[in-house]
Structure 1
Amino acid sequence: MGLFDSVIGALGAQAGGAGGSDPLQALMGLMNQSGGLPALLQQLQQGGLGDAVASWISTGPNQAISPDALGQALGGDTVAGFARQLGIDPQQGLGMLAQLLPQVVDGLSPQGRLPEGLGQGGGADLAGMLGGLLGGGGGAGAGDLGGLLGGLLGKR
């Protein structure tokens, strides 16, 4: 998991600055606050992003989402909490989430469905799965997720 730790750590340093957490921790916090990944995805579906969420889980191409649409689906308090964990403003947080969520969900559902055990308390499982995608998975999603995180590192 060395590559995973390096990429996430560098991304956290870039995004969070002093006192901010890393994006993985903030994303896991967002999921836990929402009741787990399935509950977060349900919230997005109910917020009008059902087609996008379905595309992330399917084996086809991922549909992009705008930061504004994501913000409306999640709500201002949720977005503010995510951004606060990273030490960035909410608009930056939305931009990061709009890029990161499709890739994470896609990477976690290579067979067109989410793996079992990603409900509440599944944060450790999620961290392990993401580590596998970046560090040792060798699956099709590894390069895409690594490239996304690298792209976010280059942005500021």
Structure 2
Amino acid sequence: MSLFDQLGGMLGGDNSQLLQSAQTLLNDNGGISGLVEKFQQGGLGDIVSSWVGTGANLPISAEQIQAVLGNEQIAGLAAKLGLDSSQLSQQVAEHLPGLIDRLTPNGEVPQGNDLLSQGASLLGGLFKS
């Protein structure tokens, strides 16, 4: 069982789906650095840089998520989760900025795939008031 599965099980409900979506997006796109690069190549470098940086996170629309990640990836992930593609795109748009922000606490994309420290950081961020 992966760290994201454990976190999802602890949170339950919609958060479980969100964490499963996040894990799949990270795995399918080469981790945080691959996902950041994909958004940069998609013309959204300023937006994704705000998520990684230490300032406020710029918003992203569901349409921008679909444009960068592609309809095929969104549709495949939505089918796995039993969601409509537009629902998934909206959820990703709402939560991905904060997730990337939490996984890059020092304003830098971590090197390698140290999911244990990334997950611990995420878990700490989820339970802060």
TM-score range, shorter chain: 0.7 to 0.9
Percent identity, aligned pairs only, is 37
Structure with greater contact order relative to length (CA < 8 Å, sep ≥ 6): 1
Name which of 60, 68, 73 aligns with 2:68.
Answer: 73
Q: Which runs of 5+ in 2 are unaligned?
A: 1-6
Q: Which runs of 5+ in 1 are unaligned?
A: 13-20, 136-141, 144-156
Residue type of the partner of 2:58? Q
Equivalent residue number for residue 12 of structure 2: 9
Secondary structure at 2:68 match in 1: helix
Q: What per-residue deviation string (whole Å, max 9, x for no partner) do you get for residues 108-139 of structure 1?
A: 22221123333xxx54554333223224xxxx
Return the alpha-carbon distance in structure 2 between the equivalents of residues 68 and 93 of structure 1: 11
Alignment of 1:89-128 (within 5 A): 89-118=84-113, 122-128=114-120
Residue type of the partner of 2:124? G
Name which of 62, 78, 84 aligns with 1:83.
Answer: 78
Q: Give yes or no for contact 2:8–2:17 (8 Å, CA) kept in 1.
A: no
Residue type of the partner of 2:11? I
Bigger mean CA offset, 33-42 vs 124-133: 124-133
TM-score normalised by length of structure 1: 0.69
> Which of structure 1's runs of 4+ aligned residues deviate more than 4 A?
4-7, 122-125
The answer to whether structure 1 residue 56 and structure 2 residue 51 are counterparts is yes
Return the alpha-carbon distance in structure 1 between the equivalents of residues 23 and 122 of structure 2: 11
TM-score normalised by length of structure 2: 0.81
Residue type of the partner of 1:69? Q
